[in-house]
Amino acid sequence: MIEFRDVGKRFADGTVGLESLSLTAREGEITVLVGPSGCGKTTSLRTVNRMVEPTSGSVLLAGKDVAEGDPALLRRGIGYVIQQAGLFPHRRVLDNVATVPVLQGLPRKEARARAAEVLERVGLDATMAQRWPAQLSGGQQQRVGVARALAGDAPVLLMDEPFSAVDPVVRVELQDELLRLQADLGKTILFVTHDIDEAIRLGDRVAVLRVGGRLAQFAPPDELLAHPADEFVSGFVGRDRGYRRLGFVPATALHLTELPTRADANGDSGVPGEWTVLLDGAERPAAWLGPDGVRHELGSVYVTEGGAEGVTAASEAAGTLRGALDAALSSPAGRGVAVDREGRFRGGVAPDDVLALLRPDPVR
């Protein structure tokens, strides 16, 4: 657990970086700090590992004031991931990841063995271990940066805009990887980003900071979207917060409709006048066949329970109204396709049925 107690930071030139920041990053959760440039996100993060010393207040880690110990020992017990990975260019990938275990006193052979295990955990092939950082893509470098932070087996992980320097596709992949790792490891993560979508997707709780380092709101993503504290938070979250919030509303009450289906084989034709879902041999939807016999892309699919491994274009908002509505609206047939967690066809999704679940009950 990380506690900020009335933490303030005033720099030598008089600039206020933080003003009486008080919040708690709970154990085993991802707490995200988000806000515009100059709001103190990175300053807050760096007070935890004492790369920035606050001018007032205190930061507690597991109940102990971080100011009381040796900064070097403190940092060895905290994982740290920064933008552009910050890898040592003169060390191969394996030795980059083994750095912290070696500093902690582990023999080099054991440290390298641990590094190899962590590289595999973050999804990097064993062949990457002997490469130099310059031989990796941006996304691969960020994975190595995460692996290095995990290699010391620290309970706390600080992440300072770690995915902002990669392209959008790789960024989503890295976010997925972080969520998968967190489900397995349950670290206490303090994550900094300027992207509200990333904050909402990753955070168990989100802290929105104003310029000048003042806390505007601290809440779970659903509450932040449903009830912004003021105009600043509302404006920062964005005008489409209602649609974003659908990603937190389970679609357990959604009734799936029947859709015509056929085997995906050459020579098949659709039901006259109807859109037909073509299924492969494993009962997975492959495409739409229009009433005129023309084949169409499937669009996104709605995963009725959990993730759908191997299903292309699967909505990341699995099991939610956002996933269901996206499937319905992206379909050329005006009906979405629903699948189970293995990707097998389960039925159709009508946009009107999704919207009906959003209507409040009439006042009696």
Confidence of residue 281 (pLDDT cuts 50, 70, 90): confident
d(CA 308, CA 86): 34
Residue in 275, 252, 280 with CA at minimum distance from that of residue 348: 275
Q: Average pLDDT over the chain, rounded to whole?
A: 84
More confident residue, 218 or 326: 218
User: Mind listing the pLDDT tens digit for each residue in 139-181?
Assistant: 888 888 888 888 888 889 899 988 887 788 888 888 888 888 8
Banded model confidence at residue 125, pLDDT cuts 50, 70, 90: confident
Residue 272 confidence (pLDDT)? 62
Say whether 8 sits in a helix, a strand or coil. strand
What tens digit of pLDDT does each residue of 253-274 get? 788 889 999 888 655 555 567 8
Asked if residues 204 and 218 have their Cβ atoms less than 8 Å apart, the reply is no
Percent of the chain with pLDDT strictly greater than 70:
90
pLDDT at 358 over 50: yes
Instruction: Note the CATH number of domain 2-247.
Output: 3.40.50.300
Written as six digits, the tokens of 342 are 């293995």
Residue 318 confidence (pLDDT): 52
State the Cα–Cα distance between residues 201 and 139, nearest whole angstrom.
19
How much is the pLDDT for 53? 92
Contact (CB, 8 A) for 139 and 99 = no
The owner of tokens 């209507």 is 359
Least confident of 6-10, 113-117, 243-247: 243-247
* Gyration radius from the chain CA atoms: 24
Residue type, 69: G
- Give, for 324, the enclosing helix (H) or strand (E): helix 321-330
Residue 135 to residue 124: CA distance in whole angstroms: 14
Write the CATH number of the domain with boundaries 261-356.
Answer: 3.10.580
Burial (0-12, 13-18, 19+ Cβ within 10 Å), 25: buried
The pLDDT tens digits of the residues spanning 320-340 come to 788 888 888 889 998 999 888
CA 26 to chain centre: 17
Question: Lowest-confidence range among 65-69, 107-111, 306-310, 346-350?
Answer: 306-310
What pLDDT sits at residue 271? Answer: 59
Q: With 60 as the cut, is the pLDDT of residue 310 above it?
A: no
Which segments of 106-244 are extended strands (E)? 156-160, 188-193, 205-210, 214-219
Domain ranges for the chain, please list them. Answer: 2-247, 261-356
The pLDDT of residue 362: 44
pLDDT band at residue 317 under the 50/70/90 scheme: very low
